[in-house]
Amino acid sequence: MSEPDDGPIPRIRTRREPSANRFFTFVEEDLVLPEGGAYTYYHLESHFDAVVVVPVLPGGDVLLERIYRHPYRRHVWEFPAGGIEPGEDPCAAGVRELEEETGYRASECRPLTSYEAIPGLLRMRLHIVMAQGLTPGGTQNRDAMELLQVHRFTRDEAWQLSQQPPVSSFLAMGLAALALHGSTNDNGNE
């Protein structure tokens, strides 16, 4: 498939980074628009890409987390997720995050899809992987703000949870990727 001719793009006149932390840099750029006008654009640049892992148990059920998300001041349903270390493969990161957050180990992992999470606001690629061959008994190693409980659901139950606001993109996109690319047999395996 050929790329369309997108036309001219804005030129960056000045760039400022008013703040940064271990996750993101806040960027403020003064742009010169193609027709000559000016515009100040604000966005975040992530210091790493991220992975969402869809854990599929034998029989096809999935594991979800009920995790506290401070911007909403409440718990939401999500698949396990986290940052990808420099040089780390998305599947390796997904398997690592799964064990750290849930205590489950995965013997199999495969990529489902990747996308830009919020391209108008955040520069970060999000990878969705499916983990199978799950066994409990791994070592949990949660961050202080990973206030969560792990629950098992059928895919239909998980879909119903994804219809109750606030809906985490980690849950919605993980379920969509699983439906489109994650075919499994009755044992939860390919």
For 171, residues 6+ apart whose C-beta sits below 8 A from its C-beta are: 64, 76, 77, 78, 79, 158, 161, 162
**61-70 pLDDT tens trace:** 999 999 898 9
Q: Is the pLDDT of residue 185 over 70?
A: no
Q: Is the pLDDT of residue 93 over 90?
A: yes
For 98, residues 6+ apart whose C-beta sits below 8 A from its C-beta are: 53, 55, 80, 104, 105, 106, 131, 134, 138
Whether residue 122 contacts residue 180, with contact meaning beta carbons closer than 8 Å, is answered with: no
**Which tokens sit at 22?**
């271990």
Whether residue 129 contacts residue 112, with contact meaning beta carbons closer than 8 Å, is answered with: yes
What's the confidence (pLDDT) of residue 33? 98
pLDDT confidence tier of residue 4, bands split at 50, 70 and 90: confident
Extents of the domains making up the chain: 11-46, 50-181
Q: In the block, which residue shows the tokens 């809906």?
A: 167
Q: Per CATH, is 50-181 categorized as 3.40.50.300?
A: no
Single pTM value for the model: 0.85
**Which of 23-37, 45-59, 139-153 is least confident?**
139-153
Please state the rounded mean pLDDT for residues 117-135: 94
